[in-house]
Amino acid sequence: MPYSDFDDSPILVLGANGKTGRRVSERLRGLGKNVRACARSTQPRFDWNDRATWPAVLAGAKRAYVTYQPDLAIPGALDTVSAFFDMALANGTERIVLLSGRGEEEAQAAEQALQRSGAIWTVLRCSWFMQNFSESFLLDPVREGTLALPVGDIKEPFVDAEDIADAAVVALTESGHENRLYELTGPRALSFAEALDCIARATQRDLNLVPIPVDAFRAGLLEASVSKEESDLIVYLFTTVLDGRNEKPADDMRLALHRAPGSFENYVKRTAANGVWTV
Q: Which of 4-8, 32-36, 57-61, 263-267 has the lowest mean pLDDT?
A: 4-8
Tens-digit pLDDT profile for residues 173-190? 999 999 999 999 999 999
Domain annotation for the chain: domains and CATH numbers: 4-127+160-185+248-261 (3.40.50.720)
pTM score of the predicted model: 0.95
The pLDDT of residue 5: 52
pLDDT, greater one: 151 or 121: 121
Task: Quote the mean pLDDT of the chain.
Answer: 94
pLDDT for 6: 58
Predicted pLDDT of residue 239: 85
Torsion of CA 246, 161, 226, 107, to 10 degrees: -50
- The predicted model gives 77-81 an average pLDDT of 97
Q: What is the pLDDT of residue 227?
A: 87
Give the H/E segment covering residue 113: helix 105-116
Return the closest-CA partner of residue 104 out of 137, 77, 66: 77
pLDDT over 90 percentage in the chain: 85
Q: Quick one: pLDDT at residue 127?
A: 94
Q: Which of 69, 74, 49 is closest to 232 using CA atoms?
A: 74
pLDDT digits 0-9 by tens, 224-262: 888 888 888 889 888 888 889 999 999 999 999 999 999
Inform me whether the pLDDT recorded for 34 exceeds 60: yes
Q: Which pLDDT score, from 0 to 100, does residue 229 have?
A: 86
Q: Would you call the peptide bond into 157 cis, given omega within 30 degrees of 0 as the criterion?
A: no
